A and B are shown apart, each in its own frame.
Chain A
Amino acid sequence: MTQHTRSANWQDHASAILSGFLGDWLEHRASPLAVDLQFFHRGLPLCLNQPEADQPERTLVLMIHGLTELESIWDYPDQPGVNYGTLLAQLLGATPLCLRYNSGRAIYRNGEALSEALDTLTRHWPVPVERLILVGHSMGGLIIRSACHAATQAGHSWTALVDSCVYLGSPHEGSWLAQAAHSAAGVMNRQSRDYLKAVGDVLDLRSEGIRNLSRGEVLAEQRGMPPLLPGARHFAISGLLVNNPEHPVNTLFGDALVLDASARGTHQPGWQLTATACIPGINHIRLTHHDKVYQQLKEWLR
């Protein structure tokens, strides 16, 4: 297997973190710290109009990271270049791709940008694309849904190629931490004391992307939830902090950031997920590189 030829450096990581918290503001200022939307293949950036891949396949596996993350989050610890994408690519005869994007932008804007990018990529891929597998972690899962909706609205043909969408710890009904930040900012801003309002001001600095996470918003305006992309299979995997699923810590904090019910979209009307899995003992970040998750993906996608 070809290994990554380049790993993200500390400046990339710093930009990803800053973009997560202030990404819309950085983009507005045209700051060089803002992360650009970019596809990567085995660690190298991909030109969408002229994509070059060693042995381009007709099946593409696209991995989409979450808030403040980079594509390197997918790599197994101590195994740079080895992730669900590369393992699934070997299993399915696919080409693994990763997306990098500014996670502080509004989710619907990243969804629209991803939709356009996938349209360009699939039209210029060296061989006809027959199957698309989209795997999103946390916010990445919401961006998949947003991109599918945007593509349907724009009439892009790549949606017909989507075989499976996998959501790993995606807060379809919001993240309790984002909701807590939203509530705390509201309470502080209603205080008469200036020094308490200042705390509210700091909390209000959070990016549009983080605000969207409080309710799992994937559209420009909150107009209900768009349906899942018809014709594709949809899978959700959630994690829990403690091994005992009934433990109160799991009830309160889920995988640390997202509750099990939100990751499954339990209260979404009309949702029909193909399958769901809950893996106790795996926290939000480890969902991106854990053998139990890969075994589940393998079972569903082979």
Chain B
Amino acid sequence: MNRTSEQSIQWWLGVVDISATAVAAGSLRLEQVHHAIADESFNVLARIPVIRPVSESVRVVHHAISGLSYRTVAGIADTVHKLSGLQSKTLARISAESPKA
């Protein structure tokens, strides 16, 4: 029994599904990790009165830019995930409607 081309396509759509889900969830978790590690440094800088005003501004800008980047990646992955789901359902519907040999 070899995989039919439809099974193979479904398998690859499954790979896209799991990859997109991993990237979407992973990028949001990575954002938290990135900010937590960055905060370790920013917290040290915040204890120095001369630097504190500047470092706090930099922290806000840093978190905003990195957050935007991670969420953009997560959004794209989420869109790919939804498209692969639609494609999978369409394939399954075509397969169900096509006459059996």
Residue ranges of A at the interface with B (Cβ–Cβ < 8 Å)? 6, 9, 11, 15, 18, 22, 26, 29, 31-33, 44-45, 193-195, 198, 201
CA distance A122 to B22 in the complex (A): 42
For the A-B complex, the count of residue pairs with Cβ-Cβ distances under 8 Å equals 41
- Using A11-B3, A44-B1 as known contacts, say yes or no to A32 and B36 having CB atoms under 8 A apart: no
Number of B interface residues, CB 8 Å? Answer: 20
8 Å CB interface, B3-41 against A: 3, 7-8, 10-11, 13-15, 17-18, 29-30, 32-33, 35-37
Which single member of A9, A22, A26, A193 contacts B3 (CB below 8 Å)? A9
Residues of A close to B14: CB separation below 8 A: 26, 31-33
User: Other CB < 8 Å A-B pairs besides A32-B7, A32-B14, 10 of them?
Assistant: A6-B1, A9-B2, A31-B18, A32-B11, A32-B13, A194-B35, A195-B36, A195-B37, A198-B30, A201-B29
Task: Give the CA-CA distance A6 to B8 in the complex, in Å.
Answer: 17
Please give, as numbers and ranges, the residues of chain B lying within 8 Å of A33 by CB-CB distance: 11, 14-15, 18
Neighbouring A residues of B88 by C-beta, 8 Å: 32
- Which residue in B11, B13, B36 is a CB contact (below 8 Å) of A194? B36
Contact B7 A194, beta carbon cutoff 8 Å: no
Contacts of B8 in A (CB 8 A): 11
Contact A15–B11 (Cβ < 8 Å): yes
Known: A11-B3, A11-B11, A45-B1. A31 touches B17 (CB 8 A): yes
The CA-CA distance from A45 to B3 in the complex, in Å, is 12
B interface: dominant SS: helix
The smallest beta-carbon distance between B59 and chain A, in angstroms, is 15
Please measure, in the bound complex, the distance between the C-alpha atom of A195 and the C-alpha atom of B8, giving whole angstroms: 38
Contacts of B36 in A (CB 8 A): 193-195
Q: How far is the CA of A18 from the CA of B22 in the complex (A)?
A: 13
Given A6-B2, A9-B3, A45-B1; A195-B13 close (CB under 8 Å):
no
Q: Closest A-chain residue to B85, C-beta based?
A: A29
> Are B10 and A32 interface neighbours, CB within 8 A?
yes
Contacts A6-B1, A26-B18, A44-B1 known; A198 to B32 CB distance under 8 Å? yes
Closest to A192 in B: B36
Q: List 19 A-B contacts (CB under 8 A).
A: A6-B2, A11-B3, A11-B11, A18-B18, A26-B14, A29-B17, A32-B7, A32-B10, A32-B11, A33-B11, A33-B14, A33-B18, A193-B36, A194-B33, A194-B36, A195-B33, A195-B37, A198-B29, A198-B30
Q: How far is the CB of A244 from chain B (nearest CB, A)?
A: 44
- What distance in Å separates the Cβ of B62 from its nearest Cβ neighbour in chain A? 16
- Separation in Å of the B20 CB from the closest CB of chain A? 12
Q: How distant is the Cα of A153 from the Cα of B17 in the complex, in angstroms?
A: 38
Could you tell me the distance between the alpha carbons of A33 and B15 in the complex, rounded to whole angstroms? 7
B32-82 CB contacts (< 8 Å) to partner A: 32-33, 35-37
Residues in B neighbouring A6, C-beta threshold 8 A: 1-2
What residues of B have a CB within 8 angstroms of the CB of A26 in the complex?
Answer: 14, 18
Smallest CB–CB gap between B41 and chain A, Å? Answer: 13
Inter-chain contacts of A194 with B (CB < 8 A): 32-33, 35-36
Residues in A with CB closer than 8 Å to B1 are: 6, 44-45
Closest residue of chain B to A45 (Cβ to Cβ) is B1
Q: Contact between B11 and A198 (Cβ–Cβ < 8 Å)?
A: no
Q: Which residues of A contact B32 (CB under 8 A)?
A: 194, 198
Q: Closest CB of chain B to A41's CB: distance in Å?
A: 12
Residues on the A chain within 8 Å of B11, using CB: 11, 15, 32-33
